[in-house]
Structure 1
Amino acid sequence: MRVERLGVRYGALVALQDVSWHVAAGEILGIIGPNGAGKSSCYDAATHMAARSGRVWLGGRDVTELPPHALAGLGLKRAFQQNNFFTTMTVLDNMVAVLAPEAGTGLLPSLLLPLREARRRAALESEAAALLERFGVPRALHGLRPPNIPYGSQRMLSIALAFGRGARVLMLDEPAAGLGGADMAHLAALLRRLRGEGVAIVLIEHHMDLIMSVADRILVLDQGRPLASGPPQAIQADPRVREAYLGQAA
């Protein structure tokens, strides 16, 4: 995925200006910056969820004018800062709901071929359960509603629902928010595994230990503009980053 000169304005407020980046298959790009730096606006711009200037390419194809749902259909998937799921459905049914549109049938076949539909439902449930376990949501939680499972599992569920059957590019907005200990270690392992499977990952994160340990490259935003980019070691040593992001004099 590649974006060039993204810009976002909210009235007179310039939230993002001339931001460009790229991420390759099997690579993790981290995006960091102080609060208000334009990180989430960058995600909204890249996924066409905000009015913006600039251009976006996915796999060499110019997708600038495509709406968000069309981008998802091409493999650009996004999880948001807040957990996103259907709170009145079970964990398993949440995953089935994500998978079903690609394998669904109409009302008439459902009425006329109930046995076939029952088999299809069983296959979807089996696939959904396997995906949930792959993302660290244990089978013992599948029959519960999302608000009733541990917070760490809620975060993994949100990522699993965004990923679905697969993603070419997975954009995650602060997935480590509220996590610690074993949950943080599991998230780091999941990110590395997805990278090893060839997924391109774009990661906004405030947990510096996590992003410095998993990112291949990091883009630093400050006041809506690019401040620095490079490998984690170079970003840690950059005096401009320490001044803007860590509050230390350069």
Structure 2
Amino acid sequence: MTAAKVPVLRVEGLGVSYGALTALDDVSWSVAAGELLGIIGPNGAGKSSCYDAVTAMAPHRGSVFLDGADVTAVPAHRLPERGLKRAFQQNAFFHELTVLDNMLAVMHEAAGTGLLASTLAPLRAARRRRAATADAVATLERFGVGAEYHHRMPTAIPYGTQRMLSVALAHGSSARALLLDEPGAGLGGADMERLVRLLRSLKDHGLALVVIEHHMDLIMAVADRIVVLDQGRCIASGTPREVQKDPAVLEAYLGRAA
């Protein structure tokens, strides 16, 4: 990262312990607007624990800063409104709602009017609903979820499109920093190419992205920098080219000495 780039999300000295087990130990990194930071490592390296710490979903040591403000003590349910959002490994939908209504649900502040407003100012409420629907449609299409899927249930659309929908729902309408956990899981071929294009587009629009991923071709293609975890500690960081050549990475992650 160049000196001109100010971190949107910065973590310092993160640590997570479960009883006597140390899952994460003194991990620090940062990511700027328009940048994608990859986090890789063997199974059990501490990647998910790192996300749990950043998003206040696990008791932890260390500090988390968002746009320069210390959000370490902010509870998990208040972080999204500040712009720190996360998508999980498994697709997460409101299964009883259509794809479009799922998108409207996560953009509810724009769509919501309340009973009193709807009763006293129905035309205004209808206009807000139309505007919110237009925004939701545009967001879905931006994330690669075409109009032909908007009125279907999420489980009735192709798996690759479900993955795009999961990213769209996690992003919502106001993400500053977005943490994705294995967005390429189960994807291949054209779906993987769609994901690569989406991630590059999100970077181009100034989003700060952090991506845990096991697909090395994917992360090497889209990451600006990579952090490598092993046994809860950061063993290497740098550009994809630098990380690929690091002896510690070759030994710990690839299982062979340099």
> TM-score, length-normalised on structure 1?
0.97
Select which of 192, 202, 213 maps to 1:205.
Answer: 213
Worse-superposed segment, 167-176 or 107-116: 107-116
Matched, 1:21 2:8: no
Matched, 1:110 2:118: yes
In structure 1, the gaps of 5 or more residues are none
Select which of 151, 156, 173 maps to 2:159.
Answer: 151
In the alignment, the residues of structure 2 paired with residue 167 and residue 218 of structure 1 have an alpha-carbon distance, to the nearest angstrom, of 21
In the alignment, the residues of structure 2 paired with residue 166 and residue 187 of structure 1 have an alpha-carbon distance, to the nearest angstrom, of 20
Select which of 44, 62, 73 maps to 1:65.
Answer: 73
In the alignment, the residues of structure 2 paired with residue 102 and residue 46 of structure 1 have an alpha-carbon distance, to the nearest angstrom, of 27
Matched, 1:91 2:92: no
In the alignment, the residues of structure 1 paired with residue 212 and residue 24 of structure 2 have an alpha-carbon distance, to the nearest angstrom, of 15
In the alignment, the residues of structure 1 paired with residue 171 and residue 129 of structure 2 have an alpha-carbon distance, to the nearest angstrom, of 20
In the alignment, the residues of structure 2 paired with residue 118 and residue 173 of structure 1 have an alpha-carbon distance, to the nearest angstrom, of 37
Matched, 1:164 2:185: no
Matched-pair identity in %: 67
**Who is 2:234 aligned against?**
226
Select which of 43, 58, 73 maps to 1:50.
Answer: 58
Select which of 119, 132, 135 maps to 1:127.
Answer: 135
Alignment length, in residue pairs?
250
Contact 2:111 2:129 in 1 (8 A): no
Matched, 1:82 2:83: no
SS at match of 1:4: strand
SS at match of 1:23: strand
SS at match of 1:191: helix
Please give the residue correspondences for 1:22-37 in structure 2 after superposition, counting only pairs within 5 Å.
22-37=30-45
Worse-superposed segment, 69-78 or 176-185: 69-78
SS at match of 1:110: helix
**Who is 2:10 aligned against?**
2
> TM-score, length-normalised on structure 2?
0.94
Matched, 1:39 2:47: yes
In the alignment, the residues of structure 1 paired with residue 17 and residue 109 of structure 2 have an alpha-carbon distance, to the nearest angstrom, of 35
What root-mean-square deviation, in Å, do the aligned CA atoms of Structure 1 and Structure 2 show? 1.1
Cα separation, partners in 2 of 1:219 and 1:27, compared to 1, 3 Å: same
Cα distance, 1:99 vs structure 2: 1.1
Cα distance, 1:102 vs structure 2: 4.0
**Who is 1:244 aligned against?**
252
Q: Deviations over 1:227-250 (max 9, x none)?
A: 100110011111211111111133
SS at match of 2:162: helix
Cα distance, 1:73 vs structure 2: 1.2
Runs of 4+ in 1 over 3 A off after TM superposition: none
